Amino acid sequence: MSHSPPGFADPKSSSTVRSVVATSAYSRSPEYGTFDGPGRDDPGSLDANNDLVTVVEGRDLKRGLAQRHLSMLGIAGAIGTGLFLGLGSAVQTAGPLGALLGYFTVGLVVCAVQFALGEVSALLPVTGSFVRHTEFLVDPALGFAIGWNLVYGNIFIFIVLTVVIGVAFIRVYGEVEFVFAILKILLVVFLIILGLIIDLGGIPGTPAIGGRFWRDPGPFVEHIAVGHFGEFLGFWSVMTGAVFSFAGVESLAMAAAETRNPRRAIPAACKRVFLRIVIFYVLAIIIVGLLVASNDDRLNDSSGSAAQSPFVIAASAAGIPAIPSVVNAIVITSAWSSSNQSLLAGTRVLYGLALKKQAPKVFLRTTSWGVPYLCVLFFTPFMFLSFLTLSNAALTVFWWFVDLTAAGVLVSWSAILLNHIRLKLAMKRQGIPNESLPWHNSWTLYSSYAGLSMSLLILLTGGYEVFTRGNWDAQSFVSSYLDIPLVLSAYLIWKLWKKTKIVSLSDIPLKEAFKQAEQVSDDEPPVKSGTWLRLVSWIWD
């Protein structure tokens, strides 16, 4: 057995890039044999010529996440404040049809992202997910830039509870997020049904609304300009908020090395999550468009609380006073859930960067139960940035965060789609059929091209309003475009310093990766839900 865990080629040389998984992924524990590499007390004693190492993560991390956890992680991450508080703003800006088209368009991009992520992650199930894939399939410098972009892009809210969950067993995290996702889904379903009842006049003493708001003030709202061009700009203005709302679906594979049977679980989660998310959002935006007029002054509430939610506005008008409290409670759990998920994504990416020696090796240290605790501690001080929102301008700060987060998410989505394109092109170059992938679809190369084009277009035009006459705002410009120079700077600095090269399609060691993938079989059969659970298990099964 080799004492040097396989990974990437030395960025300073032109030698062939080595396998992302190779023998290390399967010689790491009693389950796959023994490992004779660096010991736990010296997690940084890695071969200096390797940028991606899977031996350490396989030995020190624990596989505590099941497929149902992954499915619900994707749902929990995408259903949050963006759904409960952001839909009203979308209808106000673009009108009910403009908002619907905006969310549906971004939903199609999410579809492309999920399938691309699933196909690549099923073959290469590593901690850090698409960040490490970028190293393997594109350029080590781009992996460095994408990784640090994700690390500094996380801001948190519930400090103590988040840290406790962050250092607990990975299964505890999975179960907490599983419960949060159930609560969110139940609330979304309840609000959709309640909204439909209110709209149809099912509440005694409340007249039916019907579709009158689609007629007056109309399906579209003119934004900045007039006429059809103004309506188009209103539709396009929804994109950034929609991206923020869907943020989180890309992080379900971040803990691939901590997932049981990742080559089966990750594709299953990707297939299920995108469909449920899009359905929830499309139905919710349709109901919101029926309940509240785009020119309703109550949508201007600046408190950032549930009072701004169109569901609350409609329920209050119908004389149901308990709804604001219920929505507020779920918004709080949604914020905590988003905090937990951001911590998981950020810490696992930081751990992956440390594996590649793109972050200090001290971040490789883990607890005895397999949690990179120093990564968690590194993020803790930055959580106090959440106190920026404790002011009268809470909603203003919230929308700054929306812009910043959306830009970072679009960068991540672009990386996922680029990785997938590179994988498919490299397979074609090397004569490897698509059927060799653990999970594949015949149309995903085309959807990845389309999704990448849309992601970059939205990223570049997300702050277009500041360039129109009379709408310049320095803060909006910075929040919309700051991420672009940061990522480019990180990429160029690492590339020039380490003299990395874009990996040739012919040199990506796919045959070794496929060979190792074939050596691993699912030793854990799918678990069937009990009779009483089958009524709700459609959410994750």
- Using alpha carbons, select from 395, 403, 397 the residue that is nearest to residue 480: 403
Q: Round to whole Å and give the CA distance between 459 and 408.
A: 9
CA-based Rg of the chain, rounded to a whole angstrom? 23
Task: Please state which of the ranges 64-73, 369-378, 410-419 shows the lowest mean pLDDT.
Answer: 64-73
Give residue 410's pLDDT band: very low, low, confident or very high (50, 70, 90): very high
Average pLDDT, the chain: 76
Residue 456 has a pLDDT of 97
Comparing 123 with 151, which gets the higher pLDDT?
123
End-to-end, the C-alpha distance of the chain in Å comes to 39
Share of the chain above pLDDT 90, in %: 27
B/e letters for 6-39, b = 16+ CB within 10 Å, e = fewer, are bbbbbbeeeeebbbbbbbbbbbbeeeeeebebbe
Q: Please state, in angstroms and rounded to a whole number, the distance separating the CA atoms of residues 149 and 490.
A: 8
Q: What are phi and psi of 534, to 5 degrees?
A: -65, -20
pLDDT given for residue 538 in this prediction: 55
Provide the pLDDT for residue 39. Answer: 37
Query: pLDDT tens across 354-403, in order?
Result: 888 888 888 888 877 777 888 888 877 766 655 555 454 555 666 677 78
> In the predicted model, is pLDDT for residue 139 greater than 80?
yes
Q: 53 or 405: whose pLDDT is higher? A: 405
CA angle 49, 54, 59 (to 5 degrees): 125
pLDDT at 282: 87
- Work out the average pLDDT over 293-315: 74
Region of poorest pLDDT, from 95-109, 292-306, 390-404, 500-514: 390-404
Amino acid letter, residue 108: L
Residue among 183, 227, 379, 220 nearest 294 (CA): 220
How confident is the model over 145-159, as pLDDT tens digits?
998 887 765 564 444
For residues 20 and 257, give the distance between their C-alpha atoms in angstroms, rounded to a whole number: 13
Q: Which residue in 411, 73, 420 sits closest to 255, CA to CA?
A: 73
pLDDT value for 478: 87
Work out the pLDDT band at 342, boundaries 50, 70, 90.
confident
| 373 C-beta neighbours (distance < 10 Å), count | 17
Least-confidence region, from 20-24, 94-98, 202-206, 294-298: 20-24
> Contact 250/417 with Cβ under 8 angstroms?
no
- The pLDDT assigned to 19 comes to 36
At residue 44, the pLDDT reads 38
Residue 7 clears pLDDT 60, i.e. is over it: no
Residue 448 has pLDDT above 60, yes or no: yes
Q: Please determine, for residue 70, whether its predicted confidence score (pLDDT) is greater than 50.
A: yes
375 contacts 351 by C-beta, under 8 angstroms = yes
Burial status of residue 527 (CB atoms within 10 A of its CB: 0-12, 13-18, 19 or more): exposed
> What mean pLDDT is predicted for residues 225-237?
95
Give me the pLDDT at residue 487, please: 94
**What percentage of the chain has pLDDT greater than the value 70?**
70
Residue 535: pLDDT above 70? no
Cβ-contact 274, 250 below 8 angstroms: no
208: pLDDT strictly greater than 70: yes
Greater pLDDT, 261 or 428: 428
Write down the pLDDT at residue 220. Answer: 95
Distance CA 460, CA 467 (A): 12
pTM of the entire structure?
Answer: 0.79
User: What is the model's pLDDT at position 8?
Assistant: 34
What is the DSSP-derived secondary structure letter of residue 363? G
What confidence tier does 18 reach under pLDDT thresholds 50, 70, 90? very low
Displacement of CA 522 from its chain's centroid (Å): 26
pLDDT tops 80 at residue 291? yes
Residue 254: the pLDDT is 72
For residue 311, pLDDT beyond 90: no
- pLDDT tens-digit series, residues 261-281: 778 878 887 877 777 777 788
Domains in the chain, ordered, with CATH?
A: 23-383+393-523 (1.20.1740.10)
Comparing 36 with 295, the larger pLDDT belongs to: 295
CB contact set of 459 (below 8 Å; sequence gap of 6+)? 407, 410, 411, 414, 484
485 vs 84, higher pLDDT: 485
- Whether the CB-CB separation of 196 and 86 falls below 8 Å is answered with no
- The answer to whether 110 touches 278, Cβ cutoff 8 Å, is yes
pLDDT in tens, 480-532: 998 999 999 999 999 999 999 999 999 998 988 888 777 655 555 555 555 55
| Mean pLDDT on 467-485 | 89
The whole-number average pLDDT for the span 165-192 is 74
Alpha-carbon distances, residue 389 vs 96, 393, 400, 413, 508 (angstroms): 29, 7, 10, 27, 46
Q: Lowest-confidence range among 223-237, 445-459, 508-522?
A: 508-522
- What pLDDT score was predicted for residue 203? 86
CA distances from 270 to 178, 315, 326, 397, 496 (A): 16, 34, 30, 32, 36
Residues in Cβ contact with 236 at an 8 Å cutoff, skipping those fewer than 6 apart: 102, 461, 464
List CB contacts of 288: < 8 A, sequence separation 6 or more.
Answer: 87, 88, 91, 96, 99, 195, 310, 311
More confidently predicted of 256 and 187: 187
